[in-house]
Structure 1
Amino acid sequence: MKNSKTKYAVLGVISLLGPMSGYDIKMFCDKAISFFWNENFGHLYPVLAQLESNGLICRSDLEEGTRKKSYVITEKGRIELEEWLVGPVEYQPERSELLLKLSFGNQMQGKDIISMLEATKARNQLKFDRLNNIYDQYINNDEAMKKPQYPYWIVTLRYGITSLEASLKWCDDTIEFLNKYNGGK
């Protein structure tokens, strides 16, 4: 778990929002940060167990008497999160199945490549529209503006929107280029 950034995602979410179960953490990640950070249950629950074992989180008293396990960040966890937050950002190479497949594109039919690019564009257009809707809801929302994390939500949303804009343009340009290069095949 030493190099796992999941532990910092969990610590950050719990420190920001208070007591949360593994399910709540996963739902927050899916709703709020999935355009730049994904978590899955299979990885999340072992990380929660390890964080608890290491004293970085503990069970919340709020859920006593229920089967639901909610966690809060401990002082030790808060210190570890703060140390990570001010440390340098590690380089993480992008992993893209689309680009991997395109690198072997000479072994595919042109129509299949174009279809794959069009599907990618359609999926990214949906994400782009979703992020723009979230941005529109937050940008002039007086209640959201009162939260200390507001400017950081806005800048991460802008990053996602800008990245998706670039991806949509790249899809269009690539489809046009490959159609010309391959003679419309």
Structure 2
Amino acid sequence: MPKINKTRYAILGVLNIAPGSGYDIKKNCDRGISYFWNENFGHIYPVLKQMEKDGVIQKSVEQNEGRPPRNVYSITQKGKDELVDWLMRPIEPTPQRLELMLKLTFAKMVPVEYTLQELERVRERHSKSLECFRKVEEEYSNNKKAREDKGYPYWLSTIRYGIYDAEFRVRWCEETIERIRAYNAGSEDV
């Protein structure tokens, strides 16, 4: 079975919420799904071109005084049908590619202090993400209009996933740092 380009479905999902330019799509991905799904302009624009050819989106050109014309894309009925069809398919397993795990596997080749500093940096990044997820959850949960939207329990579930994932990664970094320090101090309890 050929590999399906999931960028297509991320774009269809974003455009199903609201029409937008390639820039708007990227901004909405960054704001709404970036903690579990990453898209970049290098993926978005070629896929938009193909999607327009396939008839799942349509493009209109907005003229703005004093600025270049802006391409605005919107989802077609064919695109909505394709999005629903994809949403109804079973989720495919996705192999993880975690650079941190790859580097940690071979870390004995570099100074221990470097590895510990890197783990501290990673822990700090996940702590900041956790803080951000909790803030978004609070804002979203306190927004009456958002709570009335039929998508609320689904969107809230993705935020909770981000919170649990960040909590796990912070805890894992802390345990790993302690384990490496204990081992290098000659402790038997590793």
Identify whether the pair has TM-score above 0.5, normalized to the shorter chain: yes
2:147 pairs, out of 128, 140, 145, with 145
> In structure 2, what is the equivalent of residue 9 of structure 1?
10
> In structure 2, what is the equivalent of residue 119 of structure 1?
121
Q: Is the 8 A contact 2:62 2:72 kept in 1?
A: no
> In structure 2, what is the equivalent of residue 65 of structure 1?
63
Q: 1:101 to 1:2 in 2, by over 3 A?
A: closer
Question: Structure 1 regions of 5+ residues with no counterpart?
Answer: none
Residue identity (%): 45
Alpha-carbon displacement from aligned partner over 1:87-125 (angstroms, at most 9, x marks no partner): 010111111111110010111111011001000001111
> In structure 1, what is the equivalent of residue 174 of structure 2?
172
3-state SS, counterpart of residue 70 of structure 1: strand
> In structure 1, what is the equivalent of residue 44 of structure 2?
44
Output the CA distance in 2 between the equivalents of 1:96 and 1:69: 36
Question: What pairs up with 1:20-99 in 2 under 5 angstroms?
Answer: 20-60=20-60, 63-66=61-64, 67-99=69-101
3-state SS, counterpart of residue 37 of structure 2: coil
Output the CA distance in 1 between the equivalents of 2:24 and 2:133: 21
Output the CA distance in 2 between the equivalents of 1:45 and 1:2: 19
**Superposition TM-score, scaled by structure 2 size:** 0.91
How many residue pairs get aligned? The number is 181
Name segments (4+ residues, structure 1) moved above 6 Å. Answer: none
Amino acid at match of 1:31: R
User: CA offset at residue 140 of structure 1?
Assistant: 2.7
Output the CA distance in 2 between the equivalents of 1:84 and 1:144: 25
3-state SS, counterpart of residue 58 of structure 1: strand
User: CA offset at residue 64 of structure 1?
Assistant: 3.7
User: CA offset at residue 2 of structure 1?
Assistant: 5.6
User: CA offset at residue 148 of structure 1?
Assistant: 1.7
Output the CA distance in 2 between the equivalents of 1:74 and 1:150: 24
Give the superposed CA RMSD.
1.4
Output the CA distance in 2 between the equivalents of 1:4 and 1:173: 37
Output the CA distance in 1 between the equivalents of 2:4 and 2:146: 33
Alpha-carbon displacement from aligned partner over 1:134-157 (angstroms, at most 9, x marks no partner): 001111321211212111111000
Amino acid at match of 1:96: L
Amino acid at match of 1:114: L
Output the CA distance in 1 between the equivalents of 2:123 and 2:181: 16
Output the CA distance in 2 between the equivalents of 1:170 and 1:6: 30
